[in-house]
Amino acid sequence: MELERVSHRIWIWAGWACEAVRAMVKFLLWCILFVLCWPLALSALVLYPVVWLLLLPFRLVGIAVGGALELVSAVVMLPVRVLRAI
């Protein structure tokens, strides 16, 4: 039980560390782009939120379709799960 808790904490910490490293790499790449071509870096900085807002409806549709497919899968697999429990 204790080992499971420790491994869960390590897993959470590793996920957090991975996100921190990703953010740092993105920032360093942006700094390099800023040094090499500052107009492109500034336009990327300004256009990123606009592109994110334009893609948001597609992300929401993807979440809804994924949920509907999970529901269909659960309904189809319900008899199998009931028979396995017997």
Write the DSSP string, 29-76. HHHHHHHH-HHHHHHHHHHHHHHHHHHHHHHHHHHHHHHHHHHHHHHH
pLDDT in tens, 29-42: 999 999 999 999 99
- The tens place of each residue's pLDDT in the chain, 86 residues long, gives 455 555 555 555 566 667 888 889 999 999 999 999 999 999 999 999 999 999 999 999 999 999 999 999 999 999 888 888 88
pLDDT of residue 8: 55
> Per-domain residue ranges for the chain?
1-36, 39-86
pLDDT at 18: 77
